[in-house]
Amino acid sequence: MPAELRPWLAPSAAGPVTATVRLPGSKSMTARALVLAALADGPSVIEAPLRARDTTLMAAALRAIGVAVDTSDDDRWRVEPGPLRGPATVDVGLAGTIMRFLPPLAGLVDGPVEFDGDPHARNRPLRPIIETLRSLGVTIEASASDGLPLTVHGAGLIEGGEAVVDASGSSQFVSGLLLSAARFTKGLTLRHQGPPVPSAPHLRMTTHMLRAAGAVVDESVPDTWVVEPGPLRGRTWTIEPDLSGALPFFAAAMVTGGAVTLAGWPEASWQPVEQLSALLTELGAEVTRTGDGLTVRGTGTLRGITADLSEVSEMTPVLAALAALADGPSELRGVEHIRGHETDRIAALAAELTTLGAGITEFPDGLRIEPRPLRGASFETYADHRMAHAAAVIGLAVQGVQVTDVGCTSKTLPEFPELWAGLAARS
Ligand SMILES: O=C(O)C1=C[C@@H](OP(=O)(O)O)[C@@H](O)[C@H](O)C1
Ligand SMILES: C=C(OP(=O)(O)O)C(=O)O
């Protein structure tokens, strides 16, 4: 269950923020590496993993079903697969990655696996993945709304074959099914049917990582993924720094006219760095990649933008914060499904940015943000780490932004308050 509320006054910046930041590994890559390692035919090592609530709960869940996960070394986690056994209880916290990636794997467990999580987790959509798993013969007991809490009665195997899913509500429905699919007896041919699937880069991360673990994957037909049955190899995964976690730090450079370098950025990335660079450049920043890392420089200009954020939807809260500080209006669209993220992010941003003084129009799939002089006020996080990040970015420029609960940042970056205070002190 979440820790008690931690109110926090966002520090304001005295001048340009200039810093090099070292951030932990990608949440999305760490989660995938853990699942693939659990299903592999030998031990794996995960280098530079993210140690945060989402990934430590994932490790705990895997332990509960018989996988040895040693997280004692911060830089190298070791995973030793074993026979997957229930009964087990899984606390998903508020992690979409756990509630969508583990039910398919639980179908491969011999015995029942119960899933539940934070109060907000019960509002997050799960029905499409439950229906698809049921169509594949997996027995699932779920609440009346087909969300959490639920129990997967694993039979020790899933036959697999052909299945359909509506993944318009979350790319994680597809990722979750694909990550376990090589271990289905017949593999899986999965077809998406419905409005477009968001977060395409996360789907590519899934198929990249599956192939890197030895799976044979075909994604040549749009909205169709084929995973051949076969073993997954144990291997060493090296996790990239988390790009979405870095975004508030980049935003600090943009808001203050400084420069922030994310150290350790790889030459080739599995995260959507091109999409983010294009957006930040349009907003007025200069983005460069050097031997030192990925650098975002504020130019003193912050422009309003019109953008479809469906590919980078988890970045919407911080991009909205930048938009509220820009010199002209923005429209951020294409993200209806983020109403099912940690909170209804469109409604939450509309409410909190309005309280600070911005002019907001809410659309079903996004927001129009009209910058106006902002004032300090209490900023509700709704238990959402990225709402806290958004408040922190605005707080650099606006005195008196009081975040209701900075503790929610533990979901993906427990060190956030300290790192942020250090950053603001370097302004
Ligand atoms: O697969 C993943 O690791 C993720 C996929 C995306 O989910 P949605 O497609 O639900 O937005 C993203 O927003 C989330 O933060 C992480
Ligand atoms: C949407 C997010 O998380 P989750 O993996 O819980 O869906 C996020 O981190 O912004």
Q: What is the reported pLDDT for 1? A: 46
Q: Left, alpha or beta for 264 (phi > 0: left; psi -120 to 50: alpha)?
A: left
311 belongs to the catalytic site: no
Instruction: Please check whether residue 243 is in contact with residue 269, taking contact to mean a CB–CB distance below 8 angstroms.
Output: yes
Give dist(CA 340, CA 235) in Å, integer: 34
DSSP 209-240: HHHHTT--EE--STTEEEE--------EEEPP
Pairing outcome for strands 76-80 and 44-47? antiparallel
CA distances from 251 to 57, 102, 283, 294, 425 (A): 29, 33, 10, 13, 16
Q: What is the pTM of this model?
A: 0.98
ipTM of the modeled complex: 0.99
pLDDT profile of the chain (427 residues), mean per 10: 79 96 97 98 98 98 98 98 97 98 98 97 96 98 90 98 98 98 98 98 98 98 98 98 98 98 96 98 96 95 98 98 98 98 98 98 98 98 98 98 97 97 91
Q: What is the reported pLDDT for 3? A: 58
Using a 6 Å cutoff on CB, does residue 314 contact ligand 2?
yes
Q: Which domains does the chain have, with CATH numbers?
A: 8-23+241-425 (3.65.10.10), 27-228 (3.65.10.10)
Is 28 annotated as ligand-binding? yes
Give dist(CA 398, CA 71) in Å, integer: 39
Using a 6 Å cutoff on CB, does residue 96 contact ligand 2?
yes
Using a 6 Å cutoff on CB, does residue 95 contact ligand 2?
yes
CA distances from 291 to 210, 295, 412 (A): 29, 10, 26
Is 26 annotated as ligand-binding? no
Q: What is the reported pLDDT for 365? A: 98
Residue with tokens 């779920």: 142
Amino acid at 177: L
Instruction: Please check whether residue 57 is in contact with residue 248, taking contact to mean a CB–CB distance below 8 angstroms.
Output: no
Pairing outcome for strands 139-142 and 18-21? unpaired
State both tokens at 269. 């990335």
Q: What is the reported pLDDT for 144? A: 80
For the CA of 202, the nearest ligand: 1
Residues ≥6 apart with Cβ < 8 Å to 172:
96, 97, 100, 101, 129, 199, 202
Q: Which of 341, 386, 408, 411 best tests ligand 2's pocket when mutated (most atoms within 8 Å of CB)?
A: 341
Using a 6 Å cutoff on CB, does residue 97 contact ligand 2?
yes
Ligand 1 atom showing the smallest separation from residue 169 Cα: 10
Q: How far is the CA of 314 from the centre of ligand 2 (A)?
A: 6
